[in-house]
Every structure is written in C-alpha cells, then in structure tokens.
Structure 1
Amino acid sequence: MSPDQPAWTVIQTRMDGTVNFYRPWTQYKVGFGSVTGEHWLGEKWNHKNRDSMRGHNGMKFSTFDKDQDTWPDNCASTFMGGFWYYTCHSANPNGVYRWGKESTPYAVGVIWHSWKNTYDFSVKSMVMKSHVSHVRSGAQVVLASLLFTVGGDSMSYHNGMKFSTFDKDQDTASHNCASSSMGGFWYNHCHHANPNGVYRWGQEKTPNGVGVSWNSWKTHNYSVKSMVMKVRPVQPE
C-alpha cells in the first residue's frame, strides 16, 4: 500500500468457524468476536469514518456571501469554505488546503473531526460521495461494485439494501433472508454473497445457500474457506 493511501479497516473476518455469525441485530450493531480471529467490527467502522457528518444533516448550504447556517456569525466566512454549516462544523471539506497540523487561524483547513479528534489537523485528501449512510434501522448502504480478477462481482446485487438479521427483516423478499440464509447482511432477494453465513467449508447442497458463499465464483452451494471484508476512505483518481 502506498504511504499516501489511507489504511484499510477490517470490518469482518471468516477463517475457521470458531465464531457464530447467526446473531441478532443488537450484536451486529456493537460487534462481536476478536480482531485477531473471526469477528464483525460493528458500528465502530461507521463512527470512525462518518460521525463528522451527523451535525450537518438537514442544514442549508452556506457561502461567505449567502449565510444560511444557524450561528449568529457567518460560518462560511469564519472557516473559509462553503458547506452545510450548522454552528459551525465538525467537517470542513471545502476549507483551506493546508495539509497537516495547524493552529492559527483555527479550524479553517480541510477538517474531519472524528478522524483526528481535533479541529487543527487538515487532511491531505478528501473525496465526497453521495448515498453512503450508517448501518442502522431504516438506513441504507451502498456497497462498492468491486472488480475481482478471479471471484467476480457478487456485491453489486446488494447495493442500496438495508442490513438485515433474523430478528430485523429489512430485505426485499417476502420472507426473512437472514433467517433462511442463516446470517446477517445487506440482503436483497436474497443474496449473491453471504459473508456472514454458516462456516461449512466446501461443497454443500442442503440447506441451500446458507454457507459463506460468493456466487460469482463458486455458486451459492460452495462455502469458502476464508473471507475478509475491508473498507477505507475513497482516494481521488
């Protein structure tokens, strides 16, 4: 990995079947397992990368000549950017580019507060994309349409789906996909990938499609030996 690229965050690992992934919503929310073995990271990956946007929800876009924030002064003028400011920001993507530690003037850089837990560090690069939200009740997630040189793309089918568990059915099928597929995932109707299914390495037929499967590689009836899911901030092209 290039030193200029952000590090990957591993959000899930399957490797030996020592951890049960057929769990309720609350356990997927907080995470389970150990990062040294099989695990699901839970909301920690969302908080790390996205919490800085929460306060800006529902705000109007402001610039130095059009003040629409909720602060008595003009946030865009004070923090030298244009954004959906409130009073004033926990993210300043359109601030002054001044990569690295800063102190004066305060918080005018390209800030992402929840990453460095500070307003005086300006990030090196940032890309904003729409349609990404928290894995929570009523929320949707957009999964990347990854290109796999061997395994193929089994993720596009799940784009825009809500996360489902056996006790929280949010898929598009008439039945509960998490229950029938024995996992927790962004099921559609039902899946092309089942990373959190039952660990049963090798060919399977009965019950159908409940293993750790990747349909575009080995079909629904083959449970893979290992799988890792990772996320990282998008890099500019």
Structure 2
Amino acid sequence: MCGSVEVAWLHSILHLSIATTIDIGSLILEMSLKNWILLMFVIAMTYPRSSVQFCMRRYVDGKWISKGNCRGPEIMSEIMKELQLRTDEKKWTVFQRRMNGDVNFYRGWNDYVNGFGNSEGDFWLGLEELHERTKEDNMELEIHMITKDTGTHLVAKYRLIKITMRFKVSLLLSSNFRIGPGSDNYRLNVSGFSGNATHDGLASHNNRPFSTRDADNDGLPAGNCAADREGGWWYRECALSNLNGNFNKTGAKGIWWWEGSSRRIHLRYSEMKFRRIF
C-alpha cells in the first residue's frame, strides 16, 4: 500500500495539459498550467468558505478514495456563470446603425472622424469617439444584421476572453475590440468571432486602417476601395463586408456581409455595438 494526500482540485489540475482551452458557453478560456493553479488560489481566497469545500483524496491500492465534498469543477462553473451574469448587465454602446437609408454614408474623412446622423436612426458615432471609448482592454463587439431577401436575423459576436493573473493575484478578463488612434488612421483590432452569421466578415479587415473616398488607406496599388464601394470602412484591397455602403444599392456598393461561399448577403438593417466585458 502506498499513500499520498492532496487537494482534489490540485490533483485534477496537474493532470491537465500545459495549454488548456475550455469552451463554457460563449466564453473561451485559454490558461496555462500556472494560471490554473493561481486561479484556484484566487477562488480559495475570495469565495465564501461555505462555497468552497476542499476534499482529501488518498491513493490506496491503485485507486483514489475521496473524503469530503469534492466540488472543484462545480465551483469553477459557478464562478464562470457569475462572471457571465455580470457581463450581461453591462450596457451596450451603439456606434453604427443602418435602418432606413435617410442618411448618406458616402462621406469624407472628417465626417467619419467626427460622426454624423441621428442616434435614433441611421448614424455613425465617429472614429475619434470610438478610439477614446475602446482604447482600454476588455471590450467586446456585436453586430446585428437583417437580410434584405428573407428578413433573417444574423449576429456576429467578437468576444475572446483570456484569464491572466496580475502580481496582486486578481482575475482579469480581456477581449480584443479596439480602434486605434488617429495617428494610425483608426486601425481596427478585433478577434474572437462567433454567431450565426456563418462567416467572419471582419477577418480580412482586422489590423487595417480606416479609409474614405478622400483618405485612401486600403493597400490597393491602384484605385480606391471606399470610392468603389461608396462607403467608409477598414478596407483591405476592398472588402468582405461593407456595412457603411450605399443603402439603396445592391452589389459591391450596397450594404452586405460575406456569406462565405462566393456571395454577398445583402442587408436591410445593421447595427454595431460594443461594451466592456468586466
């Protein structure tokens, strides 16, 4: 007989791979082995003692025998549900809406920097305001669209949550939606796509500066994507989405999202919004 005593959750942690990914609902957690152990320490220090009940496990004759209430996985699930609820309480900030076509979006650089339209209808918040509000970490993006032909509701979410530990042993959730400063032409940073939109229409626009008809930053050797698509966007040698296009047109100049099988989904409604996760 050989014996050893350990905390049950620590035993389970030590049998995880060095880089572990767990999908809990809409959360994607990427943690190293060290951060798993630190996370459990945070749980032990911050959760009510009545909620965290450790258990002893003894290795006897080739098997583990438990004594006490081993609730490590349940506690992890409870904490993640609580974090999800706290996030859901955060308010969204809408920064783009297309719903009736009464506002012209084929505009110059200054208009896109400062914003235009009516916040109750078609409008653009403004690139400078977007930068100021998203320059900190922990922002998520959500895009709601309605197709022109069938009225189908599509949602594209951008929410990649990573858990890291600071020296003060705090829990930090971070996401990647950010608009860069004007000195970098309001470059888009976004990742963590999910939703029923079938295809990530912002994938090719990630890490691209903004372009308008009078500010060509699209990387196309000849021509201007903003002029060709009649909008302002984070074009990369043109587009896989064009939510600021011409409301009254179809084809490349209209409002559309890439379907993923060599065709565009034309839209009669789009709304882009962001919020702080945690």
Query: Matches of residues 12-23 of structure 1 in structure 2 within 5 Å?
Result: 12-23=96-107
Q: Residue deviations 1:152-196, cap 9 Å, x none?
A: 211111111000000000011121100000000000010000000
Tell me the equivalent position of 2:210: 163
Tell me the equivalent position of 1:35: 119
Tell me the equivalent position of 1:134: 180
Give me the TM-score of the superposition, normalised by structure 1: 0.59
Unaligned runs of 5+ in 1: 53-92, 98-109, 111-124
Q: Residue deviations 1:121-166, cap 9 Å, x none?
A: xxxx754567944252434221235223144211111111000000
Q: Residue deviations 1:7-52, cap 9 Å, x none?
A: 2211100011010000111010010011100000012232234379
1:2 matches 2:69: no
Task: Supply the distance in 1 between the matched residues of 2:121 and 2:176 (Cα, whole angstroms).
Answer: 33
Task: Supply the distance in 2 between the matched residues of 1:148 and 1:130 (Cα, whole angstroms).
Answer: 16
Q: Residue deviations 1:83-138, cap 9 Å, x none?
A: xxxxxxxxxx96969xxxxxxxxxxxx9xxxxxxxxxxxxxx75456794425243
Unaligned runs of 5+ in 2: 1-83, 138-164
Q: Which has the higher strand share?
A: 2
Quick one: structure 1 residues 15 and 95, their matched pair in 2 at CA, closer, same or farther if it must change by over 3 Å?
A: farther
Tell me the equivalent position of 1:146: 193
1:173 corresponds, among 214, 220, 224, to 220
Letter in 2 for 1:210: K
Query: What is the aligned length?
Result: 164
Letter in 1 for 2:133: K
Task: Supply the distance in 2 between the matched residues of 1:40 and 1:217 (Cα, whole angstroms).
Answer: 27
Query: Matches of residues 24-173 of structure 1 in structure 2 within 5 Å?
Result: 24-42=108-126, 43-50=128-135, 126-128=172-174, 132-139=178-185, 140-173=187-220
Contact 2:135 2:178 in 1 (8 A): no
Task: Supply the distance in 2 between the matched residues of 1:95 and 1:45 (Cα, whole angstroms).
Answer: 31
1:233 matches 2:276: yes
Superposed CA RMSD in Å reads 3.1
Tell me the equivalent position of 1:199: 247
Task: Supply the distance in 1 between the matched residues of 2:123 and 2:255 (Cα, whole angstroms).
Answer: 14
Contact 2:176 2:191 in 1 (8 A): no
Structure possessing the higher radius of gyration over alpha carbons: 2
2:231 corresponds, among 162, 171, 183, to 183
Task: Supply the distance in 2 between the matched residues of 1:29 and 1:135 (Cα, whole angstroms).
Answer: 11
Quick one: structure 1 residues 220 and 14, their matched pair in 2 at CA, closer, same or farther if it must change by over 3 Å?
A: farther
Letter in 2 for 1:46: H
SS at match of 1:12: strand
Tell me the equivalent position of 2:266: 223
Task: Supply the distance in 1 between the matched residues of 2:231 and 2:174 (Cα, whole angstroms).
Answer: 31
Contact 1:169 1:176 in 2 (8 A): yes
SS at match of 2:253: coil
Task: Supply the distance in 2 between the matched residues of 1:170 and 1:192 (Cα, whole angstroms).
Answer: 16
